Protein backbone atom coordinates (compact mmCIF):
# COMPACT_ATOMS: atom_id res chain seq x y z
CA UNK A 1 0.00 0.00 0.00
CA UNK A 2 1.08 3.57 -0.74
CA UNK A 3 0.01 6.72 1.10
CA UNK A 4 0.14 10.40 0.15
CA UNK A 5 -0.29 13.20 2.68
CA UNK A 6 -1.55 16.50 1.30
CA UNK A 7 -1.89 19.98 2.76
CA UNK A 8 -4.69 22.18 1.43
CA UNK A 9 -5.28 25.86 2.11
CA UNK A 10 -8.84 26.98 1.42
CA UNK A 11 -9.68 30.54 0.49
CA UNK A 12 -11.11 32.52 3.44
CA UNK A 13 -14.86 32.12 3.63
CA UNK A 14 -14.88 29.12 1.26
CA UNK A 15 -13.88 26.42 3.76
CA UNK A 16 -17.26 24.63 3.73
CA UNK A 17 -17.41 24.72 -0.06
CA UNK A 18 -13.89 23.29 -0.18
CA UNK A 19 -14.86 20.43 2.16
CA UNK A 20 -17.92 19.58 0.04
CA UNK A 21 -15.91 19.68 -3.20
CA UNK A 22 -13.05 17.67 -1.65
CA UNK A 23 -15.52 14.95 -0.71
CA UNK A 24 -16.93 14.70 -4.24
CA UNK A 25 -13.50 14.79 -5.88
CA UNK A 26 -12.24 12.12 -3.48
CA UNK A 27 -15.32 9.99 -4.22
CA UNK A 28 -14.51 10.35 -7.92
CA UNK A 29 -10.88 9.38 -7.43
CA UNK A 30 -12.01 6.32 -5.47
CA UNK A 31 -14.69 5.40 -8.02
CA UNK A 32 -12.75 6.03 -11.23
CA UNK A 33 -9.03 6.03 -10.47
CA UNK A 34 -8.40 3.15 -8.13
CA UNK A 35 -7.65 4.88 -4.83
CA UNK A 36 -8.45 3.14 -1.57
CA UNK A 37 -9.99 6.29 -0.11
CA UNK A 38 -8.90 9.31 1.84
CA UNK A 39 -9.54 11.20 5.06
CA UNK A 40 -9.64 14.97 5.43
CA UNK A 41 -8.50 16.52 8.70
CA UNK A 42 -8.85 20.02 10.07
CA UNK A 43 -5.89 21.79 11.66
CA UNK A 44 -5.60 24.49 14.29
CA UNK A 45 -4.90 26.97 11.47
CA UNK A 46 -8.05 28.42 9.92
CA UNK A 47 -8.56 27.21 6.36
CA UNK A 48 -5.74 24.66 6.46
CA UNK A 49 -6.55 20.97 5.98
CA UNK A 50 -4.51 17.76 5.86
CA UNK A 51 -5.63 14.74 3.81
CA UNK A 52 -4.33 11.19 4.05
CA UNK A 53 -4.95 9.25 0.79
CA UNK A 54 -4.35 5.52 0.35
CA UNK A 55 -3.50 3.75 -2.89
CA UNK A 56 -2.76 0.12 -3.77
CA UNK A 57 0.72 1.21 -4.91
CA UNK A 58 2.69 4.17 -6.26
CA UNK A 59 2.01 3.19 -9.90
CA UNK A 60 -1.77 3.47 -9.49
CA UNK A 61 -1.34 6.89 -7.83
CA UNK A 62 0.94 8.16 -10.60
CA UNK A 63 -1.23 6.91 -13.46
CA UNK A 64 -2.45 9.82 -15.59
CA UNK A 65 -6.24 9.78 -15.66
CA UNK A 66 -9.18 12.10 -16.16
CA UNK A 67 -12.68 11.84 -14.78
CA UNK A 68 -15.27 10.39 -17.13
CA UNK A 69 -18.23 11.42 -14.95
CA UNK A 70 -19.10 15.10 -15.49
CA UNK A 71 -20.18 15.57 -11.87
CA UNK A 72 -16.64 14.68 -10.75
CA UNK A 73 -15.19 17.09 -13.33
CA UNK A 74 -17.46 19.83 -11.99
CA UNK A 75 -16.49 19.06 -8.38
CA UNK A 76 -12.81 19.23 -9.33
CA UNK A 77 -13.31 22.67 -10.88
CA UNK A 78 -15.22 23.83 -7.80
CA UNK A 79 -12.47 22.52 -5.52
CA UNK A 80 -9.80 24.40 -7.49
CA UNK A 81 -11.81 27.63 -7.13
CA UNK A 82 -12.02 27.22 -3.34
CA UNK A 83 -8.29 26.61 -2.78
CA UNK A 84 -5.34 28.92 -2.30
CA UNK A 85 -2.85 26.05 -2.42
CA UNK A 86 -2.22 22.33 -2.35
CA UNK A 87 1.04 20.67 -1.34
CA UNK A 88 2.19 17.09 -1.17
CA UNK A 89 3.84 16.74 2.24
CA UNK A 90 4.82 13.07 2.08
CA UNK A 91 4.77 10.05 -0.22
CA UNK A 92 4.93 6.95 1.98
CA UNK A 93 5.19 3.20 1.52
CA UNK A 94 3.22 1.33 4.21
CA UNK A 95 5.41 -1.08 6.15
CA UNK A 96 2.95 -2.19 8.81
CA UNK A 97 -0.78 -1.54 9.24
CA UNK A 98 -3.04 -1.60 12.27
CA UNK A 99 -5.58 1.01 11.08
CA UNK A 100 -9.19 -0.10 11.47
CA UNK A 101 -12.15 0.98 9.39
CA UNK A 102 -14.55 2.86 11.66
CA UNK A 103 -17.92 4.08 10.40
CA UNK A 104 -18.86 7.62 11.46
Is it the case that residue 99 has pLDDT exceeding 90? no
Total-model pTM: 0.89
Domains of the chain: 2-93 (3.30.70.100)
The band of 65, judged by pLDDT with boundaries at 50, 70 and 90, is confident
Asked if residue 104 has pLDDT above 80, the reply is no
Least confident range of 7-11, 38-42, 62-66: 62-66
Contact 52, 85 (CB under 8 A): no
- Place 28 in a pLDDT band, splitting at 50, 70 and 90: very high
Q: How far apart are CA 50 and CA 47, in angstroms?
A: 10
Task: Name residues whose C-beta falls within 8 Å of residue 99's C-beta, 6 or more positions apart in sequence.
Answer: none
The DSSP bridge pattern shows strands 2-10 and 48-55 to be antiparallel
Amino acid sequence: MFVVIYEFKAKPGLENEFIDAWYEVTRGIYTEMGSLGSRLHSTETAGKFIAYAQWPDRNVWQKETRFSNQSFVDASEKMKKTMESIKILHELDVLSDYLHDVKY
